[in-house]
Amino acid sequence: MITLYGIPNCGSVKKARDWLESQNIAYEFHDFKKAGIDKNTITSWMQQVSWEVLVNKKGTTWRGLPEATKDGVTSATSATKLMIENSSVIKRPVLCKGKTVLVGFDADTYEEHLL
């Protein structure tokens, strides 16, 4: 089973969804805004990718955070807390298939792991 995490209006999420549908790959979509995200899910992602990859420091959400909040994100624990409190800071999309966790959308990477 494939689960794609993100928000519907995100451009990268739209590209990932379009690619999956064009390849006739079934997936479940998890909307951060409606369903939130929990510690166990983030912890499972961090078994495959680092918190530095998951926290989108180039996005508008990160840039809008107070400096003290940004300065406080120094570990997996503090990053997890921030991602739970503000899921928009997570780099999107996050695709999970078994133990595979792909962050961001790249058609070649999706093809390599899913076809």
> Measured between alpha carbons, how far is 70 from 57 in angstroms, rounded to an integer?
9
Please tell me which residue in 2, 10, 46, 65 is annotated as part of the active site: 10
- Full DSSP string of 90-107: B-S-EEEETTEEEES--H
Q: Is 10 a catalytic residue?
A: yes
Q: Three-class SS of residue 10?
A: coil
Q: For residue 93, is the peptide bond before it cis, meaning its omega torsion is within 30 degrees of 0?
A: yes
Three-class DSSP category at 74 = coil
Catalytic residues: 10
